[in-house]
Structure 1
Amino acid sequence: MPASPPHTSPHTSPPPITPDAELALEQAHLERARAELARMREHTLSLQADGGDAIAGESLARTLWLRARALQDDPRTTLFFGRIDTDTPERLYIGRRHVSDEDGDPVVVDWRAGVSTAFYRASPTEPMGVERRRRFGVEEGRLTAFEDELLTAGGPPGAQGHGEGQSQILAREIERPRIGPMRDIVATIQPEQDEIVRADVATTICVQGAPGTGKTAVGLHRAAWLLYAFGERLARGGVLVVGPNRAFLEHVGAVLPSLGEVTVRHTTVEELVGHAVVRAVDAPDVARLKGEARMADVLREAVWGHVRPATEALVVPRGSRRWRVPAYEVQDILDELRVRGVRYAAARAMLPQRLAHAVLVAMERSGDSPDDRVQDAVARSAAVKAYVRSVWPEVTPQAVVAELLSAGEGLEDDQRAMVWDRPRAPRSARWSVADLALLDEVADLLERTPSLGHVVLDEAQDLSPMQLRAVGRRASTGSLTVLGDIAQGTTPWATGSWAESLQHLGKALDGDDVHLEVLDRGFRVPASVIEYAARLLPHMAPGLGAPRSVRSHPGRLDVLAVGDPVAGTVEAVRAAAAHEGSLGVIVPDAWVDRVGSALTAAAVEHEVLDGSHAEERILPVHLVPATVAKGLEFDQVVVTEPAQIAEAEPDRRSGLRRLYVVLTRAVSGLTVVHARPLPGPLAGEAG
């Protein structure tokens, strides 16, 4: 087995060694780590799933399968990306998962382990016991370079790097072209990102992050860290990632499995509250009305309004006698159940036993001695069941919402006219996206929604108060990681305040267990692109600070005025395709077919990301409707006719925000193609 680099004391000078020889020793350690990982996986596969019974055995078999899957090596990358030499003889290799030898000694330390924190946060002013931090350059699963950072004055001597200049490895990894889904960022996590990732499981974190600051990656890595640090606690409730659409989820879906976490579920908000099939589209003002927080009170009144007053006595025949409970006594029972704070269905399930108990009291007053079996029989009797149906009917979410939207109870006259825009019947109603949140609210009023251990909510600025309530109730006894950018809010109900959004999620921004973090250092969007897009900020999000790009390369920005925007787009795509990496062609939604046909005619292979389903994304060119672009990123981006994209939104502010989103999807280069004048803030020199 290849030897590891020698473990010399950090307080003594190591024997002279050339950079090439040292890199060879590091590669040998990588090969050793791969061999140990393969041994660990083979051992896991050899274990027998004998749990004592069928159910336990099946559960154990799944656990072993998941464990073996998590131990699968990926030859395209390396098992470690860094090393720290501490002020003890200890030398730690930091990687994506823990690898140990047959004696249990660590060969690679999981990036989530407590001792790995120093790799991300140690600095010359706070070295955290680290004397040397080493980063590795990687190509096709092999180590190609290393770079050292000495953090203490008395640190060990050694080469500052081999094959790379100071910090070039980190910069190259951040700026490396990316084809396909989002990758993990464990090798490049910055100190401010690491603090968010490792926040306690009981803490809800809200991240205001400008484009390219890595907020999505931070949220996913936080989920991975929580599962590592609090696995048993979260295993009971689970972890859920909520994203804006299927194209986005496909884009980020490979991150957690690459970190060994394969049990996290990904869903959209619409799927989360999928109580019905969406077959209608609301006008913006109607959607905004349905999404308002006060609809929760309207729905609560609508649900509990089905409980009717007791106007007649309950009469229960039993044998030769008829037992009577006066209406006022029944009403006392109904009132008591209504104020107990339980759900509508739970209270309804209690009612038969409460009525039966009242009958038993009447029996005892007459001299009988009934027992619990008699009470159960009375509760199941036809008379009691019929009475319960008459005063406390069983209802469904579809029936309650259909009745509300048809009658408009609890709404003003003008609002009632807005929502009554199509026939409403529970079985034939044509539900909209906004209706789904109303259905979910009613479902929770009827029966309590189970809470998860942790929820990661991305693009949270675009959710309505009612949608936020739906997500929040899934974390009523857990915590959340809330990710978004107020400047990128494009829906009719986009939030203007994280304090407001958190309130709808059931959390208080001024609470001890809730923290707001701001990420404004852009690692993925180059300076030329972010500065161009930031021209829009004063006109759409006054007071919000502009992001700062920390990329070493300014990127490419071309603004092309053309006569035919479709033909101009084809030419821009051909030019952009000469650059390395993925290419996104973002167009007005109504232009997807036109531009797609033109690309096909020009023999440009491409695929459409329409947001409705997961795409394989195996082709380098992706045609993206403007409304689907949020959360995606491409190395090269061509944006077609910005004025048309902006005008497709219901108002000017929403239009500029949509434009801000599509302009900030570029990682390396942006080409803007336009025949019409650019929106005011973008007019002038590209810079």
Structure 2
Amino acid sequence: MPEEQAVREEETKRLAEVIGLIDRRLLKELSVLSERRGDVVGIRQEFWDDLSINFSDATELGETWSSIVQQAELLVERERSHKVASEAAERLARQRDNAYFARIDFVEEGSDGPAAPIYIGRGSLVGEDGETFYIYDWRAPVSSLFYDHEPGAAAYDTPGGEIRGELSLKRQFVIRGGKLKHLFDTDETIGDDILQAVLSEKSDTAMKSIVATIQKEQNRIIRDERHKLIVVQGAAGSGKTSAALQRIAYLLYRFRDSLTSDQIVLFSPNPVFKGYISRVLPDLGEANMRQMTFRELIEARLGRRFEVEDLFTQTEALAAAERTPEGEAREKAVRYKGSEHFFETVERYLKRLGQAGVRFRPLRFRGDTIVSADEMAERFYVAFGQEGFGDRLAKLRRWLNERLTGWVDQQMAEPWVEEAAELADDEEIQRAYVQVRREGGFHDEAFNDEDKMTDLLLRRAAERAIEPLRRAVKGFRFLDPVGTYRQLFASRTLFAECAPDGRLPDGWEWMAQRAEETLARKSIDHEDATPLLYLMEALEGFRKVEGEVRHLFVDEAQDYSPFQAAFLRRRFPRARMTVLGDFNQAIYVQAEESGGFGGWTRLAAPEDTSVWRLSTSYRSTKPIVELSKRILRPEDAAGIVPFHREGEAPQIASCRDGADLADRAARDVAELLAAGHATIGVIAKTAHESGNACALIKERLADDVPVTLVTGGSAKLPKGVSVLPSYLSKGIEFDAVLVWDASEERYGRETHRKLLYTVCTRALHVLRIYYTGQLSPFLRA
């Protein structure tokens, strides 16, 4: 005990020294911040108070302009300095609260000196001499010793090679508010005491950093610089997403001179999840990467011209049509159009389009055809037929612009042009006057200046009228990708010739009819959106490809079809890819037959691919993990290992009817809130059911209890009670989860097994399940 007390006193003294250094540094930054803020306000005030512009004298105007430029440059410099000081102050304030979380003592091989103590935190802290490291950043090479080794022989990699030596001490800290709360010495990579403490904390509406509890296998994923493709299969709650975010932070630190956050893209499963993880990188002192959903990618290209169904709407439609011939036919179409077979079919179709078949849209003005679709096809395939596809397209665009210019020449004497010119405003007339004067008009020798003015106004009126056609040519809208895509389904022979095995898929006739009906009314089913977008971008030469993106992260990758995986590889050609998911949570029809991560692992050569499996589930208590494993088939559950954190056993309650279910759920919500659970998720199967559940619970609770219906458009997870459909719960965690009606009727088919598993694994501490009628067969003992 005396020894433990001495260690604690020593560490407390050392922490006080570090806090003192941080306080001095923080005070200095706050002083600079205050000074710069005053400078910025003063410069802005003086700028407008003293500004007077004399337009009548060229010399005065030049001096005024020079003064404006100088003041603007000074203001920009002060604002930049203010921003730097503000960011430094924020970083130091975070560091003061939780300065570091670990200490390791390490002596290099061949060294005669004692083991050097190395303290590890979220960010580095260097002494006032500029050389003494009080804290090492967790991403520094030496910090990997903490994550990868127990005391004894150890080594870590540096840009200059491997450093070997002896690790004599591993100590972990819990520091809050600048005070030392707990410390543990451990012989393990990350001590269970720390993990227990962290995992037992209440949840929040945003994900937290895990740098203090990164596990050995997670650390290897985070620091992998060799592989072009990293695939992580992880059990629910195994830290996949957390590892991905720490990997982004590591890459920004490791390659800070050549990599920016704008060159990293993360695909999230839904807008709610985007908000949920948005705080992790800023808490580590890094700017957030670009974040988007696959839906947003599709909407950006197709949403302006078409009504595009999203994945959630498709899921609701399939749920509503379950056990009907129409529903079964649609399910076949969804599975097939997400398959590698269909991707290869579209690839082969694109090659054929190099010889014939691209559909074009005519350029029309007021009902008259300026350039017909047939003329474009003749130019593309005959006049430019010897060129490559992209060169042909570029030449066709130039030719169309020339045709538009020639058409304007022909229209100059038409009445509509004169009528349009007569509507020119004073500003337009002034611009025409200035141009004629620049060209030498309006002097004593000029005799036709008025005619030049008139011709100029007429031409500008005609050009203004056809500007939408110019923009259409620039934006490739003379191509008809929808017509070209429909064409593939219009002929059995064409489709079979493009198919890699020469065969039509099961249910092809229904697919062809459905595609014709929906696309004809400019409505795009979700299963058609990615193939159509791929064909569109391939025709345009992938003009929007994200070539500057260096790293692509895909979370919940098991929900992407093989077609979507291949499309992302084409769209981000230079990016290294990190994909994360859990095939036990593959809840969407489009990915049911993807073979786990087969669609992803085939995107890179085996030697460039690293596949990891994270089997330990840290999120939920052991009783919740054990019940969740029962839902899965034995072979799928075999690799899942619960972390030994005990807790309340899950409760399964039989209810007489919907009213009884609502009564029980409302009582439990009130009880759980009173017990201090900050986030409670009431999860129903569909959006319709979650809407009903939200209304029923609100009726039964006091008005001051926060109950929020979370929809597909929600961008942030609220505090209190969230009521949401099953498919929006992916990747999110709650202190307590209430499963709304886990009956056989709602979760009775084999296709519902993984959905129910996903729902139950959202719970950290408490899981309560209600049902009416018969309990889901996947929950029966």
Q: TM-score, normalised by structure 1?
A: 0.76
Instruction: Tell me which of 189, 192, 215 is aligned to 1:190.
Output: 215
Note if contact 1:407-1:416 (Cα within 8 Å) is conserved in structure 2: no
Q: Which residue of 1 aligns with 2:302?
A: 276
Moved more, 328-337 or 96-105: 328-337
Q: Which residue of 1 aligns with 2:691?
A: 593
Q: Which residue of 2 aligns with 1:566?
A: 662
User: What is the CA-CA distance between 1:167 and the residue it aligns to?
Assistant: 4.4
1:591-635 C-alpha deviation (Å, 9 max, x unpaired): 212221122112242112223230252x22111211211111111
Moved more, 671-680 or 191-200: 671-680
Moved more, 273-282 or 247-256: 273-282
In structure 2, stretches of 5+ residues that fail to align are 41-68, 108-113, 156-165, 315-329, 359-377, 401-472, 497-503
Q: Which residue of 2 aligns with 1:468?
A: 565
1:82-111 C-alpha deviation (Å, 9 max, x unpaired): 222223453222111222233323332111
Q: Which residue of 1 aligns with 2:121?
A: 95
In structure 1, stretches of 5+ residues that fail to align are 1-13, 153-164, 311-326, 353-388
Hey, what's the Cα distance between the residues in 1 that align with 2:737 and 2:524? 35
Note if contact 1:205-1:514 (Cα within 8 Å) is conserved in structure 2: yes
Q: Which residue of 2 aligns with 1:285?
A: 332
Matched, 1:264 2:294: no
Hey, what's the Cα distance between the residues in 1 that align with 2:152 and 2:610? 26
Q: Which residue of 2 aligns with 1:538?
A: 633
Hey, what's the Cα distance between the residues in 2 that align with 1:309 and 1:561? 60
Instruction: Tell me which of 15, 34, 37 is aligned to 1:26.
Output: 15
Moved more, 482-491 or 602-611: 602-611
Pair member with larger Rg: 2
The one-letter code of the counterpart of 1:269 is: F
Hey, what's the Cα distance between the residues in 2 that align with 1:455 and 1:67? 31
Tell me the matched-pair count. 596
Note if contact 2:102-2:212 (Cα within 8 Å) is conserved in structure 1: yes
Matched, 1:117 2:144: yes
Q: Which residue of 2 aligns with 1:557?
A: 650
Instruction: Tell me which of 196, 200, 206 is aligned to 1:171.
Output: 196
Hey, what's the Cα distance between the residues in 1 that align with 2:380 and 2:12? 86
Query: Superposed, which structure 2 residues align to 1:423-442 within 5 Å?
Result: 429-442=522-535
User: What is the CA-CA distance between 1:60 and the residue it aligns to?
Assistant: 12
Query: Superposed, which structure 2 residues align to 1:87-166 within 5 Å?
Result: 87=107, 88=114, 90-105=116-131, 106-128=133-155, 129-140=166-177, 142-149=179-186
Describe the SS at the equivalent of 1:438: helix
Hey, what's the Cα distance between the residues in 2 that align with 1:436 and 1:63? 46
Describe the SS at the equivalent of 2:775: coil
Which of the two has greater helix per residue? 2
Matched, 1:641 2:741: yes
Instruction: Tell me which of 218, 228, 249 is aligned to 2:274.
Output: 249
Q: Which residue of 2 aligns with 1:84?
A: 104
Describe the SS at the equivalent of 1:575: helix
User: What is the CA-CA distance between 1:263 and the residue it aligns to?
Assistant: 4.0
Matched, 1:211 2:236: yes
Q: Structure 1 pair 254/399, CA: closer, same or farther in 2 (3 Å)?
A: farther
Instruction: Tell me which of 551, 560, 578 is aligned to 2:674.
Output: 578
Q: Which residue of 1 aligns with 2:87?
A: 69
Matched, 1:443 2:480: no
The one-letter code of the counterpart of 2:209 is: D
Instruction: Tell me which of 382, 385, 393 is aligned to 1:334.
Output: 385
User: What is the CA-CA distance between 1:127 and the residue it aligns to?
Assistant: 4.3
Matched, 1:501 2:599: yes
Q: Which residue of 2 aligns with 1:525?
A: 620
Q: Structure 1 pair 172/440, CA: closer, same or farther in 2 (3 Å)?
A: same
Q: Which residue of 1 aligns with 2:432?
A: none
Q: Which residue of 2 aligns with 1:230?
A: 255
Q: Structure 1 pair 67/335, CA: closer, same or farther in 2 (3 Å)?
A: farther
Hey, what's the Cα distance between the residues in 1 that align with 2:216 and 2:134? 25
Q: Which residue of 1 aligns with 2:710?
A: 609
Describe the SS at the equivalent of 1:681: coil
Matched, 1:456 2:553: yes
User: What is the CA-CA distance between 1:23 and the residue it aligns to?
Assistant: 2.1
Note if contact 1:134-1:148 (Cα within 8 Å) is conserved in structure 2: yes
Hey, what's the Cα distance between the residues in 1 that align with 2:101 and 2:487? 59
Matched, 1:513 2:612: no
Describe the SS at the equivalent of 2:236: coil
Instruction: Tell me which of 495, 510, 517 is aligned to 1:410.
Output: 495
Hey, what's the Cα distance between the residues in 2 that align with 1:38 and 1:16? 32
User: What is the CA-CA distance between 1:198 and the residue it aligns to?
Assistant: 0.6
User: What is the CA-CA distance between 1:302 and the residue it aligns to?
Assistant: 5.4
1:499-555 C-alpha deviation (Å, 9 max, x unpaired): 522256x224x2x1211100001111211111111112217xx45634111233244
Q: Structure 1 pair 639/34, CA: closer, same or farther in 2 (3 Å)?
A: farther
Q: Structure 1 pair 305/406, CA: closer, same or farther in 2 (3 Å)?
A: same
User: What is the CA-CA distance between 1:447 and the residue it aligns to?
Assistant: 2.1
Note if contact 1:201-1:230 (Cα within 8 Å) is conserved in structure 2: no
Matched, 1:477 2:477: no
User: What is the CA-CA distance between 1:642 and the residue it aligns to?
Assistant: 1.4
Hey, what's the Cα distance between the residues in 2 that align with 1:586 and 1:266? 25
Q: Structure 1 pair 584/97, CA: closer, same or farther in 2 (3 Å)?
A: same
Moved more, 564-573 or 393-402: 393-402
User: What is the CA-CA distance between 1:223 and the residue it aligns to?
Assistant: 1.1
Q: Structure 1 pair 56/640, CA: closer, same or farther in 2 (3 Å)?
A: farther
Note if contact 1:586-1:637 (Cα within 8 Å) is conserved in structure 2: yes
Q: Structure 1 pair 578/345, CA: closer, same or farther in 2 (3 Å)?
A: farther
Describe the SS at the equivalent of 1:224: helix
User: What is the CA-CA distance between 1:430 and the residue it aligns to?
Assistant: 1.4
User: What is the CA-CA distance between 1:335 and the residue it aligns to?
Assistant: 4.5
Aligned Cα RMSD in Å?
4.2
Hey, what's the Cα distance between the residues in 2 that align with 1:203 and 1:490? 28
Hey, what's the Cα distance between the residues in 2 that align with 1:235 and 1:269? 22
Hey, what's the Cα distance between the residues in 2 that align with 1:403 and 1:61? 57
Q: Structure 1 pair 109/522, CA: closer, same or farther in 2 (3 Å)?
A: same
Moved more, 595-604 or 299-308: 299-308
Q: TM-score, normalised by structure 2?
A: 0.68
The one-letter code of the counterpart of 2:608 is: D
Note if contact 1:558-1:671 (Cα within 8 Å) is conserved in structure 2: yes
The one-letter code of the counterpart of 1:188 is: T
Hey, what's the Cα distance between the residues in 2 that align with 1:519 and 1:309? 48
Q: Structure 1 pair 453/78, CA: closer, same or farther in 2 (3 Å)?
A: same
Hey, what's the Cα distance between the residues in 1 that align with 2:77 and 2:481? 35
The one-letter code of the counterpart of 1:83 is: R
User: What is the CA-CA distance between 1:203 and the residue it aligns to?
Assistant: 3.4
Hey, what's the Cα distance between the residues in 2 that align with 1:28 and 1:476? 50
User: What is the CA-CA distance between 1:185 and the residue it aligns to?
Assistant: 0.3
The one-letter code of the counterpart of 2:141 is: G
User: What is the CA-CA distance between 1:261 and the residue it aligns to?
Assistant: 1.9
Q: Which residue of 1 aligns with 2:484?
A: 400
User: What is the CA-CA distance between 1:148 and the residue it aligns to?
Assistant: 2.4
Note if contact 1:80-1:93 (Cα within 8 Å) is conserved in structure 2: yes
Hey, what's the Cα distance between the residues in 2 that align with 1:243 and 1:71? 31
Hey, what's the Cα distance between the residues in 1 that align with 2:261 and 2:690? 44
Note if contact 1:181-1:250 (Cα within 8 Å) is conserved in structure 2: yes
The one-letter code of the counterpart of 2:727 is: T
Identity %: 23
User: What is the CA-CA distance between 1:265 and the residue it aligns to?
Assistant: 1.0
